[in-house]
Amino acid sequence: MLQCHNGHTLCSTCKTRVHNRCPTCRQELGDIRCLALEKVAESLELPCKYYSLGCPEIFPYYSKLKHEALCNFRPYNCPYAGSECSAVGDIPFLVAHLRDDHKVDMHSGCTFNHRYVKSNPREVENATWMLTVFNCFGQYFCLHFEAFQLGMAPVYMAFLRFMGDENEARTYSYSLEVGGYGRKLIWEGTPRSIRDSHRKVRDSHDGLIIQRNMALFFSGGDRKELKLRVTGRIWKEQNPDAGVCIPNLCS
């Protein structure tokens, strides 16, 4: 808590919003702490602001702010990568939003087999697809496939994101495979939470990356059209802490 030279108080967050001017008397604000109000704030216990979304926690004021920045019940941003979407909400809301507003394909099951076709493989702009959301093990996963420039070379990349928090994402694993003409590329990894932005995952190269020449070879070698078939599987780790991957069958 801060106060101006005339004793008017406001919180440090609001100080930047009022451009360092007291909203009551318009005097310039310094860094004078209001110790009395800080003591009052320390004695308050308040529910998390995401209480209505299911968080049961109650905290002293300053601990509450730290908790809310990491609360597992805080809303998620829309994971759609084809446009800047400002929608936020819980997972059921976002699943319906992806289906109804972005027209994303929805599938059930823990295996997939997708074919990606692009008429001009030399273009990497506006080539971002998120073709499928999977319902698997009672959870939702987003499969991304896209083209982008990696240094001077255009590449294709496929990766999976988990619609939930990072600690739960780590309990799953997935594999991706693409190939043709007696060659194949295989990727195995852990899906990233949609708490991490699409761009952050892509720029970390945490997925299956296919160089364009290899992608064209897999497509038939005529270099006129991209035709890639990406297959994959999602499984749940029996004991994530043990470091041993044991696939479970989906019902």
What is the per-residue pLDDT across 158-175, written as a single tens digit (0 to 9) for each?
Answer: 999 999 999 999 999 999
What do you get for the CA distance between the two ends of the chain, in Å? Answer: 55
CB neighbours of residue 45 within 10 Å: 10
Query: Do 216 and 155 meet the contact criterion of CB atoms below 8 Å apart?
Result: no
* Average pLDDT value over all residues in the chain: 81
- Residue for token digits 């027209």? 103
**What are the tokens at 120?**
């001009």
In terms of Cβ atoms closer than 10 Å to its own Cβ (0-12, 13-18, 19+), residue 121 is buried
- Which amino acid is present at 204? S
> Would you state the torsion angle of the CA atoms of residues 185, 186, 190, 194, taken in this order, to the nearest 10 degrees?
40
- What domains are there in the chain, each with its CATH number? 8-43 (no CATH), 90-236 (2.60.210.10)
What is the per-residue pLDDT across 42-63, written as a single tens digit (0 to 9) for each?
Answer: 667 788 888 888 888 888 877 8
